[in-house]
Amino acid sequence: MAEWDFTTDFVSIGSGGGGLASALAVNSRGYEALVLEKRELVGGSTAMSGGVLWIPNNPLMVAEGVEDSREDAMAYFEDVVGDVGPASSYERREAYINRGPEMVSFLQGLGLTFRRCEGYSDYYPDAKGGKARGRSIEGVVFDGHRLGPWFEKLQQSFLFEMSGLAAYTGDAAKLVNFNRSPKALAVSARTWARTKAAFARGQAPLTSGWSFIGQMLYVALNKEIPVWTNSAARDIIIEDGKAAGVVVQRDGKEVRVLARRGVLISSGGFSHNTEMRKRYLDPAATTDKFSFSNPGDTGEMIELAMSLGAATDLMDEVVWNPCKEINDFAVFESDRQRPGSIYVDAAGQRFVNEASSYLEVCKAQLERNHTVKAVPAWVIFDDDFRRRYAFGKGRPGVIPKAWFESGDYKKADTIDELAAMCGIDPAGLRATLDQFNPNAKRGVDPEFHTGEGAYNQYLGDPKWKPNNCLAPIEKGPFYASAVYPGDVGTCGGILADENARVLKPSGEAIPHLYATGNATASVMGRKYLGAGASIGNSSVFGYLAGLDASKS
């Protein structure tokens, strides 16, 4: 038998949405929990992210009379995800759909507050059971100073880092189009005023993932749930076939922690593990240069689980996100959803509906790259586009000079000159525009159907008619920037059941060992069903792991 330095009931390896949700669930049943975070900052990729949760038929939808049902949600899974094996089994889907609203109510009961992302459409709204009004929720503004000294230990939101505003993720489409409609301007003005007023009151206004993690951390600390930072799990100890505890490297010392009821792996994926990327991902995406996931997503806990006999699945799946070399607010790639821009490969040809979800755009890019060089792809637009829109944090019509000086943006008087600068076939690009422009003027895209769905329209230019995602590209000078398949995290890994119990290849569960989040093969399979799919997945199954451990 192992000798223990610290005893608790449940250990969560990781302090993101799943890790904190599980600890709060265990605590609510009267048991002790410990949250481990190997980095100095709490929150992982959840805190860095938009902090949105995709939860069908959630309590906010019910309260506001937004139509949804278990049947619609299940039909949506079946139509979009399809049969991809046990990661998205009927039981896992049913648990996610049925217990997700319960988790939201549980968190509300602890004092967390949320808002609906009205109009933030499901990513496949025209599929069976899809919802154009969306199923996503996010945390409301939370004052980070309520955390006291722990505020300095909270991972900062990427949205705040890029914009400097206490912005809601659900309003991002309006913020980038602040000059294009009165409604977008009003939302932007409210966001600016909210931020300035909070700072004037001496507050630290947290939104997006910052708010969600900040609120959960606040509750956890008030309930005296210990959160250990700089504490990396080095091993999971198995005794009598069960996960019995964790070996932790804490502040340079080895600490052996007994976990009487269970251990949860909620440590993120392997975005920043080059060797694993080379082993599992597309050869064109083996670098983590374009990954915006938590720096702690290094995959060692997935490998440890495999060494303990855990099954894995979907290891080649990633939450892809198109990005550029420029580390700026423009990384969100809003230009691809605006009218007057297209993506092309080295042959000068389009290969995707540019206004599709980030996952689908990058999947199409990587698939195209197998036959025609499309990594990088190039976003192409003209001077009319440049005059209409803001780039990064600048005012409309101004592309920062430094972007051209670095070579990240190209500018040329003619399409042929631009193509030559980018290594694009000029004849192919001209042919593409000859086909694209007449249709764009009429607001149609016969080839890729850009702008036809609610999700496309939500992100398009609210002022542009007849199709708010399509406009011709014909007025020089012309511009281009390279686009790469970036990511916000991998989403294949450990195979778990409907209670987040880790499974062996035989289908047998490893007792007392649980897993959730990007360390696992996602219940969403090879799709991303809506804004907040990964955080929803992590949090719901973290919550269910905590409840299961509390009854075992």
Nearest to 217 by CA among 146, 167, 168: 146
**Quick check: bond before 446 cis, omega within 30?**
no
Nearest to 526 by CA among 80, 130, 55: 80
Q: Do the bridges between strand 52-54 and strand 136-139 make them parallel or antiparallel, or are there none, so unpaired?
A: antiparallel
Nearest to 225 by CA among 548, 517, 9, 542: 9
- Give the whole-angstrom CA distance, residue 517 versus residue 75: 23
Q: Please say whether the beta carbons of 302 and 341 come within 8 A.
A: no
* pLDDT of the residue at 173: 84
Q: Please say whether the beta carbons of 459 and 337 come within 8 A.
A: yes
Q: Please say whether the beta carbons of 268 and 517 come within 8 A.
A: yes
Residue range 323-487 in CATH 3.90.700.10 = yes
E strands along 28-135, which residues? Answer: 33-36, 52-54, 114-116
DSSP annotation of 146 reads: G
Sign, CA torsion 306/321/140/211? positive
- Give the whole-angstrom CA distance, residue 373 versus residue 387: 30
Is residue 347 very low, low, confident or very high in pLDDT (cuts 50, 70, 90)?
Answer: very high
* pLDDT of the residue at 327: 53
- Give the whole-angstrom CA distance, residue 149 versus residue 518: 29
- Give the whole-angstrom CA distance, residue 100 versus residue 104: 6
Which of 87-91, 325-329, 426-430 shows the lowest mean pLDDT across its residues? 325-329
Give 267-313 as a DSSP string: ----TT-HHHHHHHS-GGG--STTB-S-TT---HHHHHHHHTT--EE
35-48 tens-digit pLDDT: 999 999 999 999 99
pLDDT exceeds 60 at position 332: no
* pLDDT of the residue at 331: 41
- Give the whole-angstrom CA distance, residue 319 versus residue 483: 16
Give 156-215 as a DSSP string: PPHHHHHH-S---GGGHHHHTTTTS-HHHHHHHHHHHHHHHHHHHTT--EE-HHHHHHHH
Burial class (CB in 10 A: 0-12, 13-18, 19+), 434: exposed
Q: Which residue ranges make up each domain of the chain?
A: 323-487
pLDDT exceeds 90 at position 78: yes
> What residues have CB less than 8 Å from 5, skipping those under 6 apart?
255, 256, 257
Alpha carbon distances (Å) from 523 to 268, 406, 424, 493, 499:
15, 41, 39, 11, 12
pLDDT exceeds 80 at position 394: no
Mean pLDDT of the chain: 95
Q: Which two tokens stand for residue 520?
A: 């696992």
* pLDDT of the residue at 393: 73
- Give the whole-angstrom CA distance, residue 221 versus residue 549: 21
* pLDDT of the residue at 42: 98
Nearest to 452 by CA among 173, 132, 174: 132
Is residue 329 very low, low, confident or very high in pLDDT (cuts 50, 70, 90)?
Answer: very low
DSSP annotation of 364 reads: H
- Give the whole-angstrom CA distance, residue 480 versus residue 381: 7
260-307 tens-digit pLDDT: 999 999 999 999 999 999 999 999 999 999 998 999 999 999 999 999
* pLDDT of the residue at 552: 63
pLDDT exceeds 90 at position 446: yes
Q: Which two tokens stand for residue 439?
A: 């249709």
138-194 tens-digit pLDDT: 999 999 999 999 999 999 998 888 888 999 988 888 888 888 999 989 999 999 999
Task: Look up residue 279 and give its amino acid.
Answer: R
Angle in degrees, CA 40, 43, 47, rounded to 5 = 125
Nearest to 83 by CA among 550, 527, 549: 527
- Give the whole-angstrom CA distance, residue 459 versus residue 415: 27
DSSP annotation of 115 reads: E
* pLDDT of the residue at 330: 42
The percent of residues above 90 in pLDDT, for the chain, comes to 90
